[in-house]
Structure formats: C-alpha cells, structure tokens
Amino acid sequence: MNSIVKLEHLSHRYTSSWAIRDINMEISQTGIVGLLGSNGAGKSTTMNILCGVLNQTEGNVFVNGINMRENPELAKQAIGFLPQHPPLYMDLTVDEYLTYCAGLRLMPKEKIQPALKEAKERCGIAHYSQRLIRNLSGGYRQRVGIAQAIIHRPSLVVLDEPTNGLDPNQIIEVRSLIKEIATDRAVIFSSHILSEIQLLCKEIKMIESGRIVFADTMDAFNNYVEPHSVLLHMENPPPVAAFMEIAGVTKTEFLTERQVRIYFSGDQDISERLITASVQQGWRLREISLDKTALDEVFKQLSNQSSQ
C-alpha cells in the first residue's frame, strides 16, 4: 500500500540545538497512527513541519508524493490540522466559521455547501449550524474544530491533543468521531497520554529527545515488556495466603472486596494455575486479565534508552 506521508531524514535546529534529528517515518492511507512523546521531545516540531507551518533545517516531507517544500500549496490541500487549541472565532456561527475555513483551503465555491453539510453531519453538529461558537460546550467546540480539519476532504488529518480538557463523556464522543473519520483516511493522533494512544491507535510512533525510539503496532508496544501482574475478579475470593501458595506469585493486593491484583515472576503459566486453583477451591472466578499498567513502564524504558 502506498503511503500518504513520508518523512525522510527530517531534522530541525533552533539556534544551536537540534529539536529533532533524522526522523524517518511512513504512514499508510487509512487508520489512526499515534504520535507519542513527552513535552519537549520534538513531537510538536515534527507536526508543524509535516503540516507546513515550519520549514525544516534538513530532510524532506512528502504528502501524497508531493514535496512539501517544493509545492507547499498542493501538499497542504491534502492535510487537515487541528491544533491543541482550536483556532475558533467565537463570534461566528458554526456555518460562518466552516464556510470561512473552506475558503482558506481554496475550495471551489460550488463545492463548499455540499462539503459543509457533509462535515457537519459527520461531526454531529448539523443542529447547531446557526449557533454562535461561543455558546457551544467544550465538546461541541472540539467537534467544530474537527469539522474544519475535514471540510476540504483531506487524505490526512492531524489532531494534536484533541481530547485535552474534555469531560469523560465528551472524550468518549470525540474518540468515537475520530475512529469514524479514520475509516477512509489517515489520522495522526498526537498525545502524551499513553491510555489515549492505547485506546485509539493500532500503530504508534514514539519520539523522545528528537528521535524516533519506537515505531511498530500498538500490540507490539504493549508487549514490549512482559506484564508482571494480572487482575482477578471473583465472587468468592480466598484469603491472601491462598494466592501466595501458588507457584510464581510474589505479591497479592486487594483492590476491592472482589478484585485482586496478583504479581508474579514472569511465569507464563500463572493464568492457568490461578484458574485451576479457582475451580478447585471455589473462588468463582469471573474475569482474569493482564494488567496493562505495564504500558507506563514501556514509556519509561524507551525514554531512558533514547537518552543513553
């Protein structure tokens, strides 16, 4: 499959220090790619160069095979960008704002109204067409921000921290919208929150200290370090001593009356042993799962490797 984005030996320097160094990346035509990095890692610099906001010191950016530096207007027509703080005009209505954004994207006038209708319906804001943006909730303002990023039907949508500052229900709604958008285009979802990347992305690119330190599937990222604990939910849990008698168990921690975290020493048979003990001793085990808190440990290890 051809790539929508290709970064070749991308580097950028602010005064004497390099913000990013030798970034190489390819992104396919559809799906969500997570761009993960801590503050100051080079994530925002990479996105700004990719979206044509910043000229790189070295290297090339290709969007749909078009070199961003040589033909920026044509390359940018394939990109929709939602910055961390959406560039909304609070005194415009939703329709006025999105029409203005379509004009900025140099859309032919005859195509603006059909595109406006499609973007509003896709983002669930059609019933707020004549509402002033300042009178919308945070979640709906974010939806308007996403609508401006897709109104010109770009092949690539870049979203910088799109769930930042939203309440839990709004976050769920925006996540669902992002997944729907990614069915027919590529989406780059940037965040420093591991759980957000984990829930939305199938592929991940991690930048630390200005370099790519990980580029693989989300499953590979989750499995980079073997988990060392499992979560059990039981109707009839035994005392702690019963768990400690099982080979490989190193520690037991009750999270609730019926939920327990079991730490183990890397033994791959631990789940089978726990299930067997549950059947034999009548724990009435309802659920067993690997503890995904190991994701934070992966982040730490990869960050440490990049600084060595």
pLDDT greater at residue 263 or residue 120:
120
Which of 28-37, 86-95, 155-164 has the largest mean confidence?
A: 86-95
**pLDDT, the chain, mean:** 87
Is residue 289's pLDDT more than 90?
no
The span from the CA of 154 to the CA of 156, in Å, is 5
* CATH number, domain with residue 282: 3.30.70
Across 198-224, average pLDDT: 84
Please tell me the pTM assigned to this model: 0.74
Give 44-85 pLDDT, tens digit per residue: 899 999 999 899 999 999 999 999 999 999 999 999 999 888
3-state DSSP helix/strand/coil percent for the chain, to nearest 5? 35, 30, 35
Percentage of the chain lying above the pLDDT 70 cut: 90
Across 231-244, average pLDDT: 91
Degrees, nearest 5: CA angle 209-161-304: 25
Across 222-235, average pLDDT: 74
Closest CA to 181 of 141, 122, 138: 122
The span from the CA of 267 to the CA of 247, in Å, is 9
Confidence of residue 225 (pLDDT cuts 50, 70, 90): low
Choose the weakest-confidence range: 66-70, 148-152, 201-205: 201-205
Is residue 266's pLDDT more than 80?
no
Q: Quick one: CA dihedral 105, 106, 109, 111, positive or negative? A: negative
* CATH number, domain with residue 186: 3.40.50.300
Percentage of the chain lying above the pLDDT 90 cut: 51
Residues 270 and 179 in one domain: no
Whether residue 145 contacts residue 82, with contact meaning beta carbons closer than 8 Å, is answered with: yes
Whether residue 30 contacts residue 188, with contact meaning beta carbons closer than 8 Å, is answered with: no
Q: For residue 20, is it within any domain?
A: yes
Residues 157 and 273 in one domain: no
Residues 151 and 57 in one domain: yes
Q: For residue 74, is it within any domain?
A: yes
Residues 216 and 249 in one domain: no
Residues 280 and 264 in one domain: yes
Across 181-198, average pLDDT: 85
> According to the model, what pLDDT value does residue 299 have?
63
Token pair, residue 137, equals 């909730």
The span from the CA of 127 to the CA of 150, in Å, is 18
Domains held by the chain: number? 2
Residues 74 and 34 in one domain: yes
Q: For residue 247, is it within any domain?
A: yes
pLDDT greater at residue 132 or residue 273:
132
The span from the CA of 184 to the CA of 153, in Å, is 10
> According to the model, what pLDDT value does residue 243 have?
92
Q: Which of 222, 240, 274 is the last residue before a domain boundary? A: 222
Residues 38 and 135 in one domain: yes
Is residue 3's pLDDT more than 70?
yes
Q: Which of 222, 249, 267 is the last residue before a domain boundary? A: 222
Residues 118 and 248 in one domain: no
Residue numbers of the domain that contains 9 = 3-222
> According to the model, what pLDDT value does residue 308 have?
54
Rg value, the chain, Cα:
23
> According to the model, what pLDDT value does residue 75 have?
93
> According to the model, what pLDDT value does residue 300 have?
65
